[in-house]
A and B are shown apart, each in its own frame.
Chain A
């Protein structure tokens, strides 16, 4: 059985995993439960939290919206003894379900920043199944960007998303690779002759304590602008393509960039 030395949080194993297929419809709590059960099945020596209700000590990157898929989700798992990262990864791969694949594992320093707040930049690809004209689509997002915010419903509440703070860039294209990028004067290429293929948007977003942008909500807001309000709501699929930390100089650090080589870390951990 795992977890022999209950509260001894000696090692912090960082994992990259995916959420795809049918399981992209799992909510974050369901996903966490599923991951924790996978970790127990894998037999890893996980540490427990303190307190009355002892839980596995783990921390996750920001929740992926229900329905979105990703191969770039992260979690940190605290272990009571060291297991070579490749062995831990293999055990997880053997214990998991196909729609939640594990991709990478590496130890990170115990005092690393918490994933959820530290990973503040995301790239998203949104594929739209729509008959709407590309020019109208571009004009719709330009309108929202000029406006600087959009409103969306969450349950019964109407919320406002500040685009200046949350949206770093947006670009579009058709699935066959044509980019639809406005010229410096705002003019658009003539797309009338292009085949009606699903349209693809790429968004770079920034999250903070004050909130983040949900790509699906942004697209729905686009369809409420005068440019698109006559067009039926699009079918859409949302993929999170990556998560990074933005350094003060603007450069991007990935969750594994600072992970020391396992051997070096083992030495430093010393007491293992």
Chain B
């Protein structure tokens, strides 16, 4: 497709769709495409207000655009009203900056945030007019790459993607783009060019792999390199060499419309070593690396001045674990006093220190405070290695109520391995205990507004975690436990919200199946599925229908456990964690034995540092 500005075709549609601001581009901080450059388009397969604040895309956008000769633009998936209007009007998917068709770019990169994004990737490719699978693409079609936190089991996406970038992409994506440019200039065939990308460390090229003969069969086949293919047998993720040296101010595009994270984002810390056994991010973002307090403070001050935001979020998996958290929050509060600007941190640590930090950032307004005990009983918290005690929790709650909060939100998971009915009922008991502490602590006049809300999601086993071998709790059993919990809670000041079990079941299935999962996704999309992560757009019946056509039992597949020695469909890629460590963690979980955080105590032997040649880098000692 030709590279030309086609905004004039999109414009007449704007008056007829919801939120036309999604499609305008031209935000402050967006870059003008460099004429004659090699063009990369990063597609976030969800709507603008979800995708625009994504820090990963912002970092890659920044890395590509500061490289001479490379130009990077953005694209978000149009909402169904616009997508349908574009199809009717013959308007292809356009990049935001140049309004050129996405299909006219040299490289098109998808940021995959979660396992449910498959139908949206298909929708984007189809709107763009790019053949849906790698096999169907012609010589001149863009090279389609993908990365992000949703691809640790890449296989259900694999047929759509020419090359996956595993891990941290800021250096890798530049190398990949330059390699495509060089390969095109040298006149390489598409197949040779795609194959050559496997030379970049951390790049997985699905076309170079095949099922292990005599191994498990579809939909749980394990893969190995094809005969003669030039690729490592296991592709370890890429790690950004020197995180502290990277620019903390990557995300500086200022949107016009309200987005889900409508504030400046500064990544203060990468990685988390607390070792919660259900948590995929806790393994896949290792090692732990901190920016210095000076770097954080100056990035925030400069970033607010440059963007005009009035709020900054200090991003990471666990900001209150940063060794300088207290220091930079103090300094920032002093610097920002009287400007109306606020600091926020994405999650609170479940102890008194976490509450102290929440006090630092809360200002005068104290609505709800959120904690994630994840499990109701101490026994189950030990199984999942959530290293907080009942006392930590009670002290944190008391501290928060004493500091002016009246509402507490508690996150839990249901269906964790080893969960019994007592553990489920313990969720309600814990909520009641917190409510009681609130009623004891909050002054008389405000006692009526004390409330606890409980959000219960369904545990989904994820690749590269100690729980990767688990089966998903069957639907009926999830529903029974949810009902049991709801009925056990009598006090009306406690509100319970349970996550939809069907969505979680599908997510569990897509998290563990092999490449044949793509066929299911494709059929579901052909039946009209898209935006599956949106409750009001999710059509479980269409997925069930697609599964029936393939002779698949969704629930059976989701519930299927693996043996510890089974070859797994995702083991040819990984974050560098050793299988021995995961097995050991699984056994310790079943024994109820906890494992320490290696940023506070000694190395626990997860294998990431020696495998990838990296280390934890802390700004100072953690206490």
Contact = CB atoms under 8 A, between A and B. Distances in A.
B339 A235 contact: no
Interface of B: 7, 12, 14-15, 20-21, 24-28, 254, 256-258, 301, 304-310, 335-336, 338-341, 364-365
Nearest to B301: A1
A40 B310 contact: yes
B308 A30 contact: no
A56 B340 contact: yes
A53 B338 contact: no
A36 B308 contact: yes
Most chain B C-beta atoms within 10 Å of own C-beta, residue among A55, A56, A97:
A97
A31 B20 CA distance: 13
B307 A37 contact: yes
Contacts of B15: 67
Contacts of A38: 28, 308
B260 to A, nearest CB: 14
Given A41-B307, A41-B308, A43-B305, A26 B335 contact: no
Contacts of B27: 97
A99 B26 contact: yes
A29 interface: yes
25 contacts: A1-B305, A1-B336, A1-B339, A1-B341, A4-B338, A22-B25, A23-B26, A23-B256, A25-B14, A26-B257, A30-B257, A33-B256, A36-B308, A37-B309, A38-B28, A38-B308, A39-B308, A40-B310, A41-B308, A52-B364, A54-B340, A55-B340, A67-B14, A97-B28, A99-B26
Interface in A54-78: 54-56, 66-67
4 smallest beta-carbon distances between A and B, as pairs: A37-B308, A40-B308, A41-B308, A25-B20
B335 A1 contact: yes
Nearest to A56: B340
A95 interface: yes
B344 to A, nearest CB: 14
Given A5-B338, A26-B21, A27-B21, A37 B365 contact: no
Contacts of A235: 12
A115 interface: no
Describe B's contact surface by its main secondary structure.
loop
Interface residues of A, number: 36
A52 B365 contact: yes
Interface of A: 1-6, 21-23, 25-27, 29-31, 33-34, 36-41, 43, 48, 52-56, 66-67, 95, 97, 99, 235
A48 B307 CA distance: 19
Contact of B305 (A21, A23, A33, A41): A41
A21 B12 CA distance: 13
A41 B24 CA distance: 21
A99 to B, nearest CB: 7
Given A25-B24, A41-B28, A56-B340, 7 more contacts: A6-B340, A23-B24, A27-B257, A33-B256, A40-B310, A54-B340, A95-B308
Given A3-B339, A34-B256, A26 B24 contact: yes
A189 B26 CA distance: 45
Given A39-B308, A40-B310, A43-B305, A25 B339 contact: no
Contacts of B340: 3, 6, 48, 54-56
A3 B305 contact: no
A70 B601 CA distance: 63
Nearest to A31: B256
Contacts of A23: 24, 26, 256
Most chain B C-beta atoms within 10 Å of own C-beta, residue among A38, A48, A54:
A54
Contacts of B306: 41
A10 to B, nearest CB: 15
B309 to A, nearest CB: 7
A185 B415 CA distance: 83
Contacts of B341: 1
Most chain A C-beta atoms within 10 Å of own C-beta, residue among B7, B21, B257, B301:
B21
Contacts of A95: 308
B365 A25 contact: no
Contacts of A1: 301, 304-305, 335-336, 339, 341
Nearest to A38: B308
A26 B307 CA distance: 19
Given A37-B28, A53-B365, A26 B256 contact: yes
Given A41-B306, A52-B365, A97-B28, A29 B258 contact: yes
A22 B26 contact: yes
Contacts of A54: 340
Contact of A30 (B21, B339, B365): B21
Contacts of B258: 29-30, 33
B305 to A, nearest CB: 7
Nearest to B335: A1
